[in-house]
Structure 1
């Protein structure tokens, strides 16, 4: 089964397989399965109607490219208004209060993000 260009594996259970989609986590996947009443079924066991219903239900959520652009715009807004969190993003430092003296080595590595080019 393919959803928005993502190959969902047929041999896994539905609630685990749809977690591969960016923006669908554990709670959302369980909620979708309960709503559609397809608990403990594999994707390969679904009939055509259930696959269509699953596809329609997944389209109600903000996923993949739309979610990534929304996150990007939120970070961009923080940088533009020069908030504390925006400056932390701009300087490649942790933005949620973590310590930086001994930890955050991976966050401090210089990465080129796409939101810096246009600032």
Structure 2
């Protein structure tokens, strides 16, 4: 088991997939991070040296991921709601925010707004 930013990863796991498990890091960001430290795209965690692991940990601590990013999103939505903007009112009502149609097919947006963005 390798510890990366407080999370244990098995040695069989791909480095790219391990990076993508963090909230806020997707495929393009993980590829960019791996290219920055010259890590092969198909490298597994067991292939990493201690230097690479410390570099990755240092890079991830400098980024806004996990709880920091979730808190920022929540603050942005509450700011929109407090301002009384159109987007804020849509968030508050649990309706689609980005111009999707509401005559039909809004159940997914209602579920997402209720669970993720309320509060």
**TM-score, normalised with respect to structure 1:** 0.85
1:12 matched to which residue of 2? 13
Identify if the C-alpha distance between structure 1 residues 92 and 114 changes in structure 2 by more than 3 Å, giving closer, same or farther. Answer: closer
Q: Does structure 1 conserve the Cα–Cα contact (< 8 Å) formed by 2:5 and 2:57?
A: no
SS of the counterpart of 2:16?
Answer: helix
**TM-score, normalised with respect to structure 2:** 0.85
Instruction: Count matched residues.
Output: 115
Q: 2:65 aligns with which of 43, 63, 79?
A: 63
Q: 1:82 aligns with which of 81, 84, 98?
A: 84
Higher helix share: 2
Unpaired stretches in structure 2, ≥5 consecutive residues: none
How much is the aligned-residue C-alpha RMSD, in angstroms? 1.9
SS of the counterpart of 2:54?
Answer: helix
Identify if the C-alpha distance between structure 1 residues 85 and 8 changes in structure 2 by more than 3 Å, giving closer, same or farther. Answer: farther
1:111 and 2:105 matched: no
Unpaired stretches in structure 1, ≥5 consecutive residues: none
Identify if the C-alpha distance between structure 1 residues 100 and 9 changes in structure 2 by more than 3 Å, giving closer, same or farther. Answer: farther
Q: Distance in 2 between matches of 1:35 and 1:27?
A: 12
Which deviates further from its counterpart, 3-12 or 16-25? 3-12
Q: Does structure 2 conserve the Cα–Cα contact (< 8 Å) formed by 1:9 and 1:17?
A: no
Identify if the C-alpha distance between structure 1 residues 10 and 104 changes in structure 2 by more than 3 Å, giving closer, same or farther. Answer: farther
1:47, distance to aligned residue in structure 2 (A): 1.7
1:2, distance to aligned residue in structure 2 (A): 3.5
